[in-house]
Structure 1
Amino acid sequence: MTAEDARSDGGDTTVEAAGETGGPAFEPLPIDRAAALIDDVVDNVERVIVGKRDAIEHIVVATLARGHVLLEDVPGTGKTMLARAVATSVDASFRRVQFTPDLLPSDVTGVNVFNQKTGEFEFQPGPVFANVVLADEINRAPPKTQSALLEAMEERQVTVDGDTRALPEPFAVIATQNDVETGRTYELPMAEIDRFAKKLRLGYPDSEQETEIIGRTAGHHPIEELTPVTDGETLRRARETAGEIRLGEPVRNYISRLAEYTRNHAQLGVSPRGSIALARTSQVRALLDGREYVTPDDVQAEAPTVLAHRIRPRTGSESGDDVVSAALSNVAVE
């Protein structure tokens, strides 16, 4: 595929947000300003998180792609702090929910409370009514409570007692997951896992990075002094810019064939929702490079973090990462 193929409109070449109609609600930023904004957010978070620029970048990419992020790793690797730092870098509302076995769905979505003075029920919104929601150790809550996020993550709305209320925009869920104490946690249902645009692992820092972390946090933690570098409205304008990045038919076809490969070589392959997430994140990846069109390289850069967690391999010796790696090796770029 040539660069000219990638630039080709081929009809409808942008990915429109689900549920959004008509023109953009916000004026898109110029591509160079949107790319600079992403760099500013990533640089700001790096004041708190050491040696994880790729992970920070992935979270910002997912947010601009109208997606959510699942951070899975052992305790103490900075998952919660990373989520807090990203949220703090954007001057938008932020709420944290500590998921525990006794957490109820209404503790997340909100509840109608009877007001004795007015004689009417009043809705008390839950923490999900924020621009950035940190679902901390999400797999410690039972499936019934986890399901409270399904409607919010997919449709950006919450229904309580028959009344549907829209969530603020932008809206992103950053969830952390403990993968060590499996006997004390619940497995996330596939319907919820599939709603996360990306799944990331941070890993341990190397000795040099850990030395830097100790030095930064020996006194006051740098998160206490972190200030926003942008706001919600500007972030939405950058999101509109990403949505206008051209996605030519050859690239769209390449994404479809990657998804088809996973379905033919796994017990459960990538869903159409996963293909859409890959298209949107590829648009943001192109934006990061200051380009107005998506190339196969953008798709290949995003595929591992977007597709692997949606796949259930046929054998226990294989992982979702293995299937994605095989797809990228065997599906030709045409």
Structure 2
Amino acid sequence: MIKLHVKNETSRLRAVILGTAKSNGPTPNVDQAYDPKSLEHIKAGTYPLEDDMVKEMEAVAKVFEKYDVTVYRPEIIENCNQIFSRDIGFVIDDTFVKANILPDREEELEAIQYVIDQMNPEKVVRPPEEVHIEGGDVLVWNDHIFIGTYREPDYANYIVARTNLEGVEYITKQFPHKTVKSFNLRKSQVNPKDNALHLDCCFQPIGTNKAILHKEGFLEEEEYEWLLNFFGKENCFIISKDEMYNMNSNVFSISESVIISEQNFTRLNTWLRDQGFTVEEVPYAEIAKQEGLLRCSTLPLIRD
């Protein structure tokens, strides 16, 4: 039996589902791209190759091994991109929420069903169909749940808008003892530098009281300011458009003091070390081409 327990983003990790790049399928066509960054690389002929992505994910698996974390991997589906396990589900406290993702990706959930079968069935929930929500938009922070959404009337026109207002309401009802705070994110189908695909593409709490933030990811400046004040300016690392594009906020915490980060994030990694963090650097630049990074490809099940 897996006893789910996730109270925040940074407590010591004990068990996680790490996605897989094996049998990732051929490079998609232009009309199969789910996000502007993948689209850019498909057009440029620089879309990542399976071998490179497998190596990158193995580097992360080795870090988990070093820290004695139990790692589950999805069952392999032929020719299916199963890297981003965060999209398909998430844990809040002791409850596993199955995400309502893009319909094409439903089989990704089936590939982790063997893990879900080890959970208390009473603690596994699936929102109704009209509720759209993905794990990248949900950040659990003790008494708070931060949720990225898109509140504009043209929501339905954006394949990059992944969590709707019904998603925010669902989580608010499901976890009445939490303070749920939602953030209206900037979306673009065509320009990856103007697209916050998920909340964790422009914000992530680290340590016990710090955060990485990207101002332009938020459509409403006061919501960005709210986060800045919540964590305190002196505790926030503000990333530029280029750093957001390269996914600098999408690192992953193994504990309050250990963070897995991409090896090319020089400015961020230097700051993290200056703040006293241990930074485990891995190569992840190929996977980043699909507008996702370390947090996107991990689904924590148990933290202390």
More helix by share: 1
When normalised by structure 2's length, the TM-score is 0.29
Question: Of the two, which has the highest radius of gyration?
Answer: 1
* TM superposition score normalised by structure 1: 0.27
User: Going by fraction, where is strand more abundant, 1 or 2?
Assistant: 2
